[in-house]
Structure 1
């Protein structure tokens, strides 16, 4: 169990500063609704219904990027999910923000402007340094408690994540609590049967790190995506390199070749590689080729093939636990969703403990009509999920645990 306090421990009638992660795709300048709003709304609604004065912080994008925008639109989307008005102030800790915070009545909700518009927020630094920033020192005295619900940002040492727990009583929100428990289960729970991990996606370094760290915990790995193709290359197949304008494989191979080869050598019996791959044929339709029939890579491979899915399904169905990190193909294109969706369907139909992680992969559940309730947990975290799987510390969780010991 986590060693931090949760909002179950929060005394009544408090002015509460709550950190969410509402970072969203931006289209035509507007934030797009997604699972994060729905999940965080549970914490926000619970706090407001209990009569707390609820002030929210969140970030969007990074300075210099196209998705670095105001949170005004986020307030409207969140209000729809919470079922209550969510006020917005285009200020974070200036006079306008402080006046709006102090004017809140019980049960009212206010969202502050993008935390990353404050220069104190972004540079990674120790919690002690962050606690001494003007951002934290100005805002904290206006609150009775701090709640962190932003598990997906918990691997960051930013002021809004690690500074406030040093100056205020600190608690975990519902997203923080459920994500932490599910994502650390691979290290903390005992499973009676085989533990399987499905690993894919485009970031091979992450996948290899997870495979290396979970050497003793996972019984078998089912590979796809960029990482899967790089492992096929290590096994001697003429794939796993860039063709045309592609820029996915060669650099990652150069950085990870030695580790890939050593993991394959040491855990080869636990690693299952794709037996066929899918690509776009001359007619624009999906085509498949057996890996053994590939003489040279002349096109990009966009999914694992039907034979691979058929090979992976029995391994999933006899598992006691299945963890997913990354998609097996470019599922956003319906032609190349078969691998990812086929594996997710097998997991959904299996009576096992299951966690689907990596922000993008969880989108496939919604896109292809699968039921979220058929999985034990669908994570909205990316980097923090990787950290949890590899056992690396999460700074924002560590400060919550330290705060619990002080309280």
Structure 2
């Protein structure tokens, strides 16, 4: 049984405040549809079908950023996914928002304005402190229950994620419940065979934190992306340096050099490291170079090479469980998608427990027509997924447990 209340515990026909995470890419002012809307529509639809009056809170970006926009477009996209009318009010907790909430009928859905357009939202505070804010104190009396489904911001102690459980009966939504169960499974479940984690992305600290927390749970770490280069630099190879416009490696190495060298020295057999890399050739195509042929890094490495892919695939195929954190290459560019796509496809055809996650990694499935049903779980979370892997508490989940 979950340690928190779920939708199964919620009586029908109530006025419910729901926190989702609809944060989405914005291109030329247009909010892009994505799998988040599809996932969260399940919770919204389930609540509306149970005759709840549903008001949705969500955020988009942060103040000062180009994609910090209203949620009006988000409401229209959500409407397409829930297959019922979704209203929008350009107000978070003012008079217009309160009137719209009070006018809701059973089964109706309303999206409130971007939570980050209110000053009370972003400061990191305790649940008790947020519960005293004007934002929470104004909205809470209008509702019978609060549902948090925004797992991907569950590591944030913001007003909308932790401030309502102290003052309203609180429940986990469908996405929250599934994400938490699967993303903590690597630490909590016992597997009979080898456990492998594919780790890419652009932060060496991610690998270090995961390795330190899960070292006894994971048998093989297969590295790509920037972490792969930085581990190799710690081993003495002439990679992991900034070249051209890429300026992310030298500072990271300086900050983590001692820890990386310790892992290489004491736990080298746990890590699969790239034996070749792909880069952009002079003619604009994909070129590959073997690690032992590199005398000096002259080009940014944008993917692992096929020699590395061929060495990683058998490890995946022999695993009882495989977890993915981050892409091993710049998969958004088809020339440099081979590593990410071929490893994910290997996981898909292997009879193993599998979880795909980490920032935008799940987008590769859509881009390259990989069936999501081939995996046990595909996470839409980034920071919260990483926190679950590294054993850090998820603030919003702990608050749901505390007030269950």
Q: CA deviation digits over 1:247-269, x for unaligned, max 9?
A: 11001001111111112222111
Which residue number corresponds to residue 343 of structure 1?
Answer: 343
* Aligned positions of 1:251-270 closer than 5 A: 251-270=251-270
Q: CA deviation digits over 1:67-94, x for unaligned, max 9?
A: 1110000000000000011100000111
Q: Give the Cα separation in 2 of the matches to 1:112 and 1:67.
A: 18
Which residue number corresponds to residue 290 of structure 1?
Answer: 290
Which residue number corresponds to residue 3 of structure 1?
Answer: 3
Q: Give the Cα separation in 2 of the matches to 1:269 and 1:386.
A: 23
Is the partner of 2:13 in helix, strand or coil?
coil
Which residue number corresponds to residue 183 of structure 1?
Answer: 183
Is the partner of 2:364 in helix, strand or coil?
helix
Which residue number corresponds to residue 111 of structure 1?
Answer: 111
C-alpha displacement of 1:206? 1.7
Q: CA deviation digits over 1:209-234, x for unaligned, max 9?
A: 11221111100100000000000111
Which residue number corresponds to residue 66 of structure 1?
Answer: 66
Query: Are 1:120 and 2:120 matched, yes or no?
Result: yes
TM-score by length of 1: 0.98
* Aligned positions of 1:259-338 closer than 5 A: 259-338=259-338
Which residue number corresponds to residue 397 of structure 1?
Answer: 397
Which residue number corresponds to residue 156 of structure 2?
Answer: 156
C-alpha displacement of 1:2? 3.1
Q: Give the Cα separation in 2 of the matches to 1:207 and 1:362.
A: 19
Question: Where has structure 1 moved over 3 Å in runs of 4 or more?
Answer: none
C-alpha displacement of 1:128? 0.8
Is the partner of 2:361 in helix, strand or coil?
helix
Q: Give the Cα separation in 2 of the matches to 1:371 and 1:143.
A: 39
Q: Give the Cα separation in 1 of the matches to 2:139 and 2:333.
A: 45
Is the partner of 1:221 in helix, strand or coil?
strand
Which residue number corresponds to residue 55 of structure 1?
Answer: 55
Q: What are the ranges of 5 or more consecutive residues in structure 1 without an aligned counterpart?
A: none
Query: Are 1:192 and 2:192 matched, yes or no?
Result: yes
Deviates more, 1:206-215 or 1:152-161: 206-215
Query: Are 1:234 and 2:234 matched, yes or no?
Result: yes
Is the partner of 1:251 in helix, strand or coil?
helix
Is the partner of 2:296 in helix, strand or coil?
coil
Q: Could you say what the CA RMSD is over the residues aligned between the two structures, in angstroms?
A: 0.7
C-alpha displacement of 1:12? 1.6
Q: What are the ranges of 5 or more consecutive residues in structure 2 without an aligned counterpart?
A: none
TM-score by length of 2: 0.99
Which residue number corresponds to residue 218 of structure 1?
Answer: 218
Q: Give the Cα separation in 1 of the matches to 2:226 and 2:371.
A: 27
C-alpha displacement of 1:96? 0.7
C-alpha displacement of 1:30? 1.7
Is the partner of 1:18 in helix, strand or coil?
strand
Q: CA deviation digits over 1:180-230, x for unaligned, max 9?
A: 000000111111100000001112222221122111110010000000000
C-alpha displacement of 1:346? 0.3
C-alpha displacement of 1:29? 1.3
Q: Give the Cα separation in 2 of the matches to 1:283 and 1:107.
A: 58
Q: Give the Cα separation in 2 of the matches to 1:151 and 1:81.
A: 19
C-alpha displacement of 1:244? 2.0
Number of equivalenced pairs? 404
Contact map agreement 1:2 1:180 (CA 8 A) in 2: no
Which residue number corresponds to residue 44 of structure 1?
Answer: 44
